[in-house]
């Protein structure tokens, strides 16, 4: 895939992220006190304060999907099948997927990892890393490095054990890879 097409995908992805965040943050709510207590050992207070949650009937696919289908890009991520997605500091949760308390806090933890990634990278660099990771992994969602990181940390959280600082782990990992961070 040529650099021009990757740049196009990154720009469209970034615009979608910002548009979706701005659309949904208006009806989003802060984390519940119960969720904050469960997540506080893993996330800095400023991250917990940033996070907002909005419920939607279904997460929508980006409006530019028909255009990139015409370009022949395979294996588009079907966001309508996702339980959650994060746009900067706004977590969307689909009502299509009921969850008990344990699956809820696990999903919320995963999405909070993305808030940390956005916070450290900024929305544009997040979009670039996410989309380039998707392209470089052969369009495989499960192999996107930012998703792998979120799923690895989610697994560690789900297993219990000693709390850990998500921000410190992500910051350290991104610095080792040579990325410039916002904070």
- Domain count across the chain: 1
Give the structural domain span for 44. Answer: 3-176
**Do residues 106 and 157 lie in contact, with contact meaning Cβ atoms separated by under 8 Å?**
yes
Residue 95 belongs to some domain of the structure: yes
Residue closest to 84 by CA, chosen among 64, 65, 103: 103
Residue 68 belongs to some domain of the structure: yes
SS (H, E, C) the chain: CCHHHHHHHHHHHHHHHHHHHHHHHHHCEECCHHHHHHHCCCCCHHHHHHCEEEEECCCCCCCCHHHHHHCCCCCCCCHHHCCEEEECCEEEEECCCCCCHHHHHHHHHHHHHHHHHHHHHCHHHHHHHHHHHHHHCCCCHHHCHHHHHHHHHHHHHHCCCCCCCHHHHHHHHHHHCCCCCCC
Residue identified by tokens 């670039």 is: 128
**Per-residue pLDDT at 1:** 64
**Do residues 113 and 48 lie in contact, with contact meaning Cβ atoms separated by under 8 Å?**
no
Residue 100 belongs to some domain of the structure: yes
**Do residues 115 and 97 lie in contact, with contact meaning Cβ atoms separated by under 8 Å?**
no
**Per-residue pLDDT at 124:** 97
**Per-residue pLDDT at 97:** 86
> What digits encode the pLDDT tens for the residues 49-89?
999 999 999 999 999 999 988 988 877 999 999 999 999 99
Residue 73 belongs to some domain of the structure: yes
What tokens were used for 125?
Answer: 């660099």
Taking the chain (183 residues) in consecutive chunks of 10 residues, what is each chunk's mean pLDDT?
88 98 98 98 98 97 93 88 98 92 96 98 97 91 95 97 97 89 82
Question: Model-level pTM?
Answer: 0.95
Residue 40 belongs to some domain of the structure: yes
Residue 182 belongs to some domain of the structure: no
**Per-residue pLDDT at 179:** 83
Residue 181 belongs to some domain of the structure: no
């Amino acid at each position: 895939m040529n650099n021009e097409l990757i740049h196009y995908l990154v720009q469209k992805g970034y615009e979608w992220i910002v548009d979706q965040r701005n659309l949904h943050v208006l009806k989003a709510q802060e984390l519940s006190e119960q969720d904050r207590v469960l997540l506080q050992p893993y996330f800095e207070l400023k991250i917990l304060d940033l996070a907002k949650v909005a419920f939607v009937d279904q997460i929508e696919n980006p409006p530019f999907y028909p255009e990139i289908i015409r370009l022949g890009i395979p294996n588009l991520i079907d966001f309508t099948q996702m339980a959650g997605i994060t746009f900067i500091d706004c977590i969307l949760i689909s009502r299509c997927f009921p969850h008990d308390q344990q699956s809820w806090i696990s999903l919320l933890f995963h999405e909070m990892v993305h808030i940390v990634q956005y916070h450290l990278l900024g929305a544009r660099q997040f979009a670039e890393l996410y989309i380039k990771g998707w392209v470089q992994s052969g369009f495989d969602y499960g192999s996107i490095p930012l998703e792998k990181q979120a799923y690895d940390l989610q697994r560690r959280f789900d297993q219990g054990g000693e709390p850990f600082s998500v921000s410190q782990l992500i910051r350290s990992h991104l610095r080792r890879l040579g990325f410039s961070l916002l904070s």
